Chain A
């Protein structure tokens, strides 16, 4: 069984998000890059399937050379090999198109992704990849078992869960719950050393078609200073919520 895991390199949670002076782009200065946290659930699931089913796990990233440390981390977590498509992606479609182009020739039984990346929050790449490959797609997956040519996926629905059987090959976008947070793999020294010698293939992009342009960016305006209310004066809190904020 061959699994392709799509990973995105995103700013570390604690990074301050700044934009260039003319607000035309995200300012990458001083940013620590990490594997998109939702992709880590997908990667860990793939490594578990590697252990239980003898699957091979390839990670793919669409990005410039700056993303290589993040790809190496994915290899240290346990992926067998990696592909980097040499393109600084401009939108979800261009990213999906490159992933689909690699997947098309790779004969993967399963493509796993996080349901969205925590930088541009598009949530579009997995569904686009599925459609480009004409494969079934399950989003927001919180459970997954593989049995031969079929997968059983659990997806979160509003107010509940749904269990689905899916014919492989398929694209599954996961989230927290696909594996438990406590089961996420922290690379050990052996993993880090072996990642240095695992194959990381760099391929050139097949297309430069972009469907959405990021024209400008803005930071979220700060909130006004907090109004503190005494615990002995909850009438005042209720009054503020009712009369000032008008939310109750």
Chain B
């Protein structure tokens, strides 16, 4: 038997979350003494990228009907090729749409938002995120078949090179219920949920015209940009950048919050960040209590200066 893992790609290119899920599957397989088989739908990237993280088999599903995403059709496709009792998915939007459908199709347990390698595999018991980052739950699967979704940036991408082989499966899964009308994707922008560093700003920036300095800082750090809820509500920044309880939950290595007071709803989305820096003109901002490093002062002076200093560090 093998541990299976869904290696998600966007337009054929593997996501970082796919490498993280393969790394996770590898750690599960190390506990069970099995191999890792990665499954991908219509990839254009080389399978070598998946061997690097420990997948010794790669099944490439070729299906024109799956050119557009449909949770149900993708679940059906994965079901047809995943012949194992442990299947790992990243906790991305698409993968976490497929996983519950597949769990029902197979009669498997589903444990989502997983943070660490399993404590045990038979029965499978694992730590997962709960209460919007305010607590952890140790979940145990009943029965033998289990699907796991791995919270992005929680386990990390770990190289574990193996020699692998690739198999192509031609499928033609029915995909009649949904039809994609249009697809808009901005290219070259870092995915907020995958980013290792996020620079985020709030109402303290005084207006959308001042976001240039936030983007400059993000640029030198190779970071994604984010914002607080009020900022997306008033339309200074798109909703997709809103991090917080009703926005995105993120877990970067470094989260820099500029002009954000740190309401409890905001913390719910960012408190899994490994290091938090808070820059605010208000010394009483509650966010300092949840931060690792704090600077009290005028963001309009601090951010350009900080950008220059980081640029100098990076040479």
A residues with a Cβ closer than 8 A to B are 11, 13-14, 17, 19, 26, 37-38, 92-93, 96, 118-128, 130-132, 135-140, 142, 152, 155-167, 170, 175-177, 180-182, 210-220, 223-224, 226-231, 234-235, 237-238, 240-242, 245, 247-248
Contact = CB atoms under 8 A, between A and B. Distances in A.
B179 A165 contact: yes
Nearest to A180: B233
B135 A220 contact: yes
Interface of B: 10, 15, 69-72, 75, 91-94, 96-101, 103-105, 108-113, 125, 128-143, 176-187, 189, 191, 193-194, 197, 221, 229, 233, 239-240, 242, 245-247, 249, 253-254, 264-265, 268, 271, 274-278, 288-298, 301-302, 305-306, 309-310, 313
Given A224-B292, A245-B275, A175 B309 contact: no
Contact of B191 (A38, A158, A210): A158
Nearest to A169: B177
Given A127-B99, A210-B142, 6 more contacts: A120-B130, A124-B103, A127-B97, A216-B138, A234-B295, A234-B305
B93 to A, nearest CB: 5
Given A156-B240, A160-B183, A229 B294 contact: yes
A158 B293 contact: no
A149 to B, nearest CB: 12
Given A132-B104, A139-B96, A217 B239 contact: no
Chain B binding surface SS class: mixed
Contacts, number: 270
A213 B129 contact: no
Nearest to A221: B136
13 contacts: A123-B113, A131-B101, A136-B71, A136-B177, A181-B229, A181-B233, A210-B142, A218-B138, A220-B133, A231-B295, A234-B295, A245-B293, A247-B254
A127 B139 contact: no
Nearest to B94: A157
Given A159-B186, A212-B141, A123 B112 contact: yes
Contact of B139 (A132, A213, A234): A213
B31 to A, nearest CB: 18
A137 B72 contact: yes
Chain A binding surface SS class: mixed
Contact of A234 (B100, B113, B265, B306): B306
Give 5 nearest A-B pairs by CB, closest first: A127-B100, A231-B297, A136-B177, A160-B185, A131-B104
A16 B101 CA distance: 33
A160 B69 CA distance: 14
B181 A164 contact: yes
A75 B265 CA distance: 25
A166 B233 CA distance: 28
B239 A142 contact: yes
Of listed B177, B189, B274, residue having the most chain A CB within 10 A:
B177
B218 to A, nearest CB: 12
Contact of B246 (A135, A161, A176, A237): A176
Contact of B140 (A93, A213, A219): A213
A180 B101 CA distance: 29
Contacts of A220: 133-136, 271
Contacts of A158: 10, 15, 92-93, 185, 191, 193-194
A122 B113 CA distance: 7
Contacts of A163: 180-183
A160 B181 CA distance: 14
A20 to B, nearest CB: 12
Contacts of B229: 181
A227 B112 contact: no
Given A132-B104, A139-B93, A237-B306, A159 B185 contact: yes
